[in-house]
Amino acid sequence: MQPPADESYYRATAAPYEPYVPLRGSHEARVAIVGGGFAGLNTALGLAERGWPDVAVLERERIGHGASGRNGGFVFAGYSLGEQALLAQRGEAQAHALFGLTVEGVHRIRRRIAEYGIACGAVDAGVIWANWFRDPEVLRRRQRLLAERYGVAWEWLPEAQLREMVRSARYHDGLFERDALHLHPLDYALGLAQAAAARGVRLHEHSGVRRLKREGAHWRIETAEGTLRAEQVVLACGGYLAGLERRIDRAVLPIATYVVVTEPLNERLEACLATRAAVYDTRFAFDYYRPLPDTRLLWGGRVSIRERSPQAVRRLLRRDLLRVFPQLEGVRIDYAWSGLMSYARHLMPQLGGRGNGLWWAQAFGGHGLSSTCAAGELLAAAIVEGDEGWRQFAAYGLESAWRPFGFLAAQAGYWRAEFNDWLKTRLEG
Ligand X SMILES: Cc1cc2nc3c(=O)[nH]c(=O)nc-3n(C[C@H](O)[C@H](O)[C@H](O)COP(=O)(O)OP(=O)(O)OC[C@H]3O[C@@H](n4cnc5c(N)ncnc54)[C@H](O)[C@@H]3O)c2cc1C
Please, are residues 274 and 164 in contact by the beta-carbon 8 Å criterion? yes
Distance CA 180, CA 110 (A): 10
Q: Is 46 in the site for ligand X (CB under 6 A)?
A: no
Q: How far is the CB of 426 from ligand X (least distance, A)?
A: 28
Which residue in 364, 390, 393, 396 binds ligand X (CB under 6 A)? 364
Q: Which residue's beta carbon is nearest to the bound ligand X?
A: 368
> Which is closer to ligand X, CB of 59 or CB of 421?
59
What contacts 23, CB < 8 A, 6 or more positions away? 56, 58, 204, 207, 223, 225, 226, 227, 228
Chain Cα centroid distance, residue 76: 10
What contacts 297, CB < 8 A, 6 or more positions away? 261, 262, 265, 269, 272, 273, 289, 290, 291, 321, 328
Q: How far is the CB of 62 from ligand X (least distance, A)?
A: 8
Residue type present at position 200: G
> Which is closer to ligand X, CB of 131 or CB of 207?
207
> Which is closer to ligand X, CB of 133 or CB of 240?
240
Q: Is 259 in the site for ligand X (CB under 6 A)?
A: yes
Q: How far is the CB of 210 from ligand X (least distance, A)?
A: 7
Q: Is 174 in the site for ligand X (CB under 6 A)?
A: no
Q: How far is the CB of 343 from ligand X (least distance, A)?
A: 9
Distance CA 310, CA 204 (A): 29
β strands within 13-142, DSSP E: 25-34, 55-58, 74-75, 127-130
Q: Identify residues 112-151 at the interface with ligand X (CB under 6 A).
A: none
174, 244, 296, 391 from 222: Cα distances, Å: 51, 11, 42, 29
Q: Is 209 in the site for ligand X (CB under 6 A)?
A: yes
Q: Is 192 in the site for ligand X (CB under 6 A)?
A: no
Q: Is 58 in the site for ligand X (CB under 6 A)?
A: yes
Q: Is 59 in the site for ligand X (CB under 6 A)?
A: yes
In b/e form, how buried is each residue of 132-152, taking b as 16+ CB within 10 angstroms?
bbeebeebeebbebbeebbeb
Which residue in 368, 377, 379, 380 binds ligand X (CB under 6 A)? 368
Q: Identify residues 322-341 at the interface with ligand X (CB under 6 A).
A: 339-341
> Which is closer to ligand X, CB of 157 or CB of 374?
374
Q: Is 105 in the site for ligand X (CB under 6 A)?
A: no
> Which is closer to ligand X, CB of 37 or CB of 46?
37
Which residue in 60, 112, 163, 308 binds ligand X (CB under 6 A)? 60
Q: How far is the CB of 352 from ligand X (least distance, A)?
A: 14
Q: Which stretch binds ligand X (CB under 6 A): 112-120, 144-152, 368-376, 403-411?
A: 368-376
Q: How far is the CB of 323 from ligand X (least distance, A)?
A: 19
What contacts 272, CB < 8 A, 6 or more positions away? 166, 167, 168, 265, 297, 325, 327, 328
Q: Is 10 in the site for ligand X (CB under 6 A)?
A: no
Q: Is the peptide bond before 404 cis (omega within 30 degrees of 0)?
A: yes
> Which is closer to ligand X, CB of 233 or CB of 324?
233
> Which is closer to ligand X, CB of 74 or CB of 150?
74
Distance CA 178, CA 106 (A): 11
β strands within 119-225, DSSP E: 127-130, 155-157, 174-177, 181-182, 202-204, 211-215, 218-222
Q: Is 300 in the site for ligand X (CB under 6 A)?
A: yes
CA-CA-CA-CA torsion sign (49, 52, 54, 55): negative
Residues at the site binding ligand X, with contacts judged by CB under 6 A: 34-40, 58-61, 65-68, 70-74, 208-209, 236-240, 242-244, 257, 259, 300, 339-341, 362, 364-369, 372
